[in-house]
Amino acid sequence: MATATETTAEKRPQGPFTPHPDGLIGGNHTLDSIGHKIGGVVLSEQPTPNAWWAFFLLGLTLLGGLGVALAYLFYAGVGIWGINVPVAWGFAIVNFVWWIGIGHAGTLISAILLLLHQKWRTSINRFAEAMTIFAVACAGLFPLIHMGRPWLFYWLYPVPVNFAMWPQFRSPLTWDVFAVTTYFSVSLMFWFVGLVPDFAVLRDASKTRLQRFVYGNLALGWRGSAIHWRRYEKLYLLLAGLSTPLVFSVHTVVSFDFAVAIVPLWHATIFPPFFVSGAIFSGFAMVVWLAVPLRRVYGMGDLITDRHMELCGRVMLGTGLMVSYGYFCEVWMSFYSHSIYEWDTTMQRMWLGPYWWSYWALITTNTIIPQLLWFRKLRNNEWALFAIAGSAHIGMWFERYVIVITLSRDQLPSSWGQYAPTEWDWLTLLGSVGLFITLFCLFIRFLPMISITEMREFLPQLQGGRDGHSVMENAK
Amino acid sequence: MTTHAAPTTPAIYGVMAEYETADALVAATKAAREAGYSHMDGYSPYAIGEVADELGFPRSEIGAIMFVGGLCGAVTGFLIQYYLNGIDYPLNIGGRPYFSWPMFIVITWELLVLTAAASGVIGLFALCGLPQPYHPVFNVPAFERASRDRFFLVIEATDPQYDAATTRTFLTGTNPLSIEEVPE
C-alpha cells in the first residue's frame, strides 16, 4: 500500500550546525535528538542517575519528618508550636508567604516572559511551572494546619450547609483562600495544557506497554492536527494573559493579609509591589537552584545554557534591587511621616528590639550579597550564582520573619512578648522542603522536565524548527 | 438467521502524504487548497499557523469562549458575595454599608480568572473532540513520527473532489516522502 517516492523530496541538512546566535540552545540538536534528550529521561532510555536517588531519599526522609510533625500536631494541637499572643501567626505565615513567593517565578517565566516575547523562557518554563505548583502546595499546607481544626477548612468556602453561616467576604483572609485556590487551579491547568503535546510525544516514543498506556491516556488522543494547534496556541496565549495579572493579584492579596491590618509598618501602600517583586526574586533563586542540578546531573547544559543562567542572575539583580527599595522606602516613610508609632516600630525592628539581628540578617542576605550579581564574571559562574541564590532564599525567609515578628513590640510595653519557634516548627518547615523535593524528583523522573514541543519549535529553521514561537506573534 | 458478509477491504478515511519539513507541508496544503480540496488536515509536531490558514481556519473560537466564561464567573461571584454578606447573613460592622462593593472586587476578579481559564481548557478539549481514544490516522505506522520530526497532510475521503487515484496523483506532485492510504 505504501508508495515511497523518496526521489525529489526536500531533505534537511544533518549538521553540524552553526551555534545559536543568542546562545540559547547548543549541542547540534535536531527535532529527533531533542525528543531523545528530554523524553529519554522519562522513558528510561538512560538509567536513573544515582544523584536522583540521593535527592529523592533525602526528600522522602524530610517528608517523613513532616508526617511525624503533622501527626503530633493533629493529636496535640497548635500549642506545640511557639505561637502565642502577641505573635500569633509565627512560622505558619512566614513559611506560607515564603513558599508562595517561590512559586511566583514559574508563572512569571511561563506567562509574563511569553507576553514579552522573551524566547529564553522556553527551556526553563516547564520545570518552573512544576516548581510553582509544588511550592503553592507547600504554601497551602501552612494556613490549613494553622487552623487548629483543619478538617473544617471547607467553612472558608461558601458551601451551602445547614448551619447557615457564610464566609466574611470583606476579609483579606477570605480573599487569600480564593486567590490561592485560583492560582493553584489555573497553574495546574496551564501546566497540563502545555504537557498534552509532550504526552503525545512520549506515547509515540514509548518503550513498554505500561508507558504507552499511561502516556497514551494522558495525551487524550492528541494528534497534532493544525486546527487543534491553532486553538491550542490561542488558549496558551490567553492563559498567559490571564496568569499575568493573576500572579500580581495573588501576592498583592497575600500582602493584604498584613497591609489591611492597622499595625505600624504593616499598613503601607508599598506592600503589594514590594511583595510581588520579592516573590519573583525568591522564585528566580529557586529556578537557579533547580537548574544547576538539572544541568549537572542530567547534562541539560545544552538546553539550559550559560546564557539562561546569566539572564536568571540579571532578573535576580533587578528584583533584588526592587526589594531593597522596599526596605529603604519603609524606613524613609516612617521617618518622613513623623508618625511616632511608625518610627518607634522601625527602631524596635532595626535596633532596640530583641530581634534586631534578624533585620540585619535580612539586609545582608537580600540587599548586600545580591550586589555581587553586578559582576558578569559571577553571573556566569554557576556555583557563585547558586550561592547568591541561596542567600536570597535565606533573605526572603527572613523578610517575612521580620514582618511577622514586628508584633512582639507594640506601643504598650505591657503587651510586649517574645516569640521562639519550637522544634516542631522547624520540623514542619524542613518537612515542607521534603515535600517539595519529593514532588520535584517524581516530576523529573516521570514528566518531561523541559517542553519537548516548544524546544523543537524553537530550533533554528535549518535544524527543523521555526526559530521562535508563533504563539508569541501569531496566535489567532 | 445471520449471514456472514464477505470480507471487505476496510473503508478508506483518506490519503496521507508525509513531508520532511514544515515548509513542505505548508506548500502542499496551499497547493491542495488551490486544487479545490476542502476536507483535509495537516499534522505536525509543533504548531504551524500557516497550515491552519491554508486550511481555511483563520481564527479559533477560544477567545470568545473564555470571554463569556470569565464574564459569567465574575457576575456570579459578585452576586454571590452580595447576596451572602449583604442579604442572607448581613453583618453590621461599625455601621458600614452592606453593599460594600469595593471589598467584593478581589474575589470577583479571582473567580473571573478561574472560570475564564477553566472554560478555555474545557472549550479546547470539547472543540477538538478530546479525549479521543481512536482516530484513523493512527492506523498508518509512519504516523508515529507526526509527534517527532515529520509533517503530514491527509486529504479525507469525504471531500467532494476525493478520488482514490487522482488525489494520490495530486499528492505525488507535492514531493512527499511517502504516500499511504488511511484505513478507517
pLDDT per residue over A236-276, tens digit each? 999 999 999 999 999 999 999 999 988 989 999 999 999 99
Q: How many structural domains is chain B composed of?
A: 2
The whole-number average pLDDT for the span B160-181 is 90
User: What residues are paired with B156 via a beta bridge?
Assistant: B14
Compute CA distances A147 → A68, A141, A144, A155, A434, whole Å: 18, 10, 6, 11, 22
Q: What is the pLDDT of residue A190?
A: 93
Distance between CA atoms of A57 and A437, rounded to whole angstroms?
Answer: 9
On whether residue B7 sits in a domain, the answer given is no
Set of chain B residues whose Cβ sits within 8 Å of the Cβ of A193:
121, 124
Distance between CA atoms of B154 and B32, rounded to whole angstroms?
Answer: 10
> What is the H or E stretch that residue B159 is in?
none
A197/B107 Cβ within 8 A: no
User: What residues are paired with B180 via a beta bridge?
Assistant: B16
Same domain, B66 and B24: no
Question: Could you tell me which of A39, A71, A97 has the C-alpha nearest to residue A424?
Answer: A71
A9/B19 Cβ within 8 A: yes
Q: Where is the domain boundary, B109, B128, B147?
A: B128
Alpha helices in chain B (DSSP H): 22-34, 49-54, 62-82, 105-128, 164-172
pLDDT per residue over A392-413, tens digit each? 999 999 999 999 998 898 888 8
Q: What is the pLDDT confidence band of residue A14, given thresholds at 50, 70 and 90?
A: low
Please tell me which residue, A471 or B7, carries the higher pLDDT value: A471
Domain ranges, ordered by start, for chain A? 31-160+175-473
Mutation target to probe the B interface, by most B beta carbons within 10 A, among A12, A170, A459 is A170
Set of chain A residues whose Cβ sits within 8 Å of the Cβ of B151:
none
Portion 72-101 of B in contact with A at CB < 8 A: 80-81, 84-85, 88-89, 91, 93, 100
Of A205-214, A435-444, B97-106, where does the model show the most confidence?
A435-444
The whole-number average pLDDT for the span A203-212 is 92
- What are the phi and psi torsion angles at A210 (to 5°)? -65, -45
Q: Is the pLDDT of residue B100 over 60?
A: yes
On whether residue B4 sits in a domain, the answer given is no
Smallest Cβ–Cβ distance between A166 and the set B85, B113, B145 belongs to B85
DSSP designation for A463 = G
A8/B175 Cβ within 8 A: yes
* Pair type for strands A3-4 and B151-156: unpaired
pLDDT per residue over A419-434, tens digit each? 999 999 999 999 999 9
Distance between CA atoms of A211 and A201, rounded to whole angstroms?
Answer: 12
Q: Where is the domain boundary, B110, B128, B146?
A: B128
Same domain, B124 and B170: no
Q: What is the dihedral of CA A147, A150, A153, A155, to 10 degrees?
A: -80
Q: What is the pLDDT of residue A12?
A: 59
DSSP designation for A3 = E
Set of chain B residues whose Cβ sits within 8 Å of the Cβ of A205:
144, 147-148
Same domain, B67 and B102: yes
On whether residue B53 sits in a domain, the answer given is yes
Q: How far is A9 from chain B (nearest CA, A)?
A: 5
Q: Is the pLDDT of residue A9 over 50?
A: no
Residue of B nearest to A232 (CA): B124
The whole-number average pLDDT for the span A155-171 is 83
Question: Could you tell me which of A451, A459, A438 has the C-alpha nearest to residue A190?
Answer: A451
Same domain, B22 and B76: no
B107/A178 Cβ within 8 A: yes
Residues A108, A276: contact at Cβ < 8 Å? no
On whether residue B8 sits in a domain, the answer given is no
Q: What is the pLDDT confidence band of residue A2, given thresholds at 50, 70 and 90?
A: very low
Chain centroid to CA B88: how far? 43
Q: What is the pLDDT of residue B7?
A: 58
Same domain, B147 and B163: yes
Residues in chain B: 184
Q: Where is the domain boundary, B108, B128, B148?
A: B128
Residues A287, A128: contact at Cβ < 8 Å? yes
Q: How many other CB atoms are there within 10 angstroms of residue A212's CB atom?
A: 15
Same domain, B151 and B137: yes
Tell me the three cell numbers of residue A97.
508567604
On whether residue B159 sits in a domain, the answer given is yes
A226/B43 Cβ within 8 A: yes
Q: How far is A251 from chain B (nearest CA, A)?
A: 12
Set of chain B residues whose Cβ sits within 8 Å of the Cβ of A233:
47, 49, 60
Q: Which amino acid is at A198?
A: D
Q: Strand order of the sheet with strand B178-183? A: A3-4, B178-183, B12-19, B151-156, B40-43
Average model confidence (pLDDT) across chain B:
90
User: Structural domain of residue B123, as residue ranges?
Assistant: 62-128
Q: What is the pLDDT of residue A5?
A: 41
Q: Is the pLDDT of residue B150 over 70?
A: yes
Question: Could you tell me which of B114, B118, B166, B176 has the C-alpha nearest to residue B145?
Answer: B176
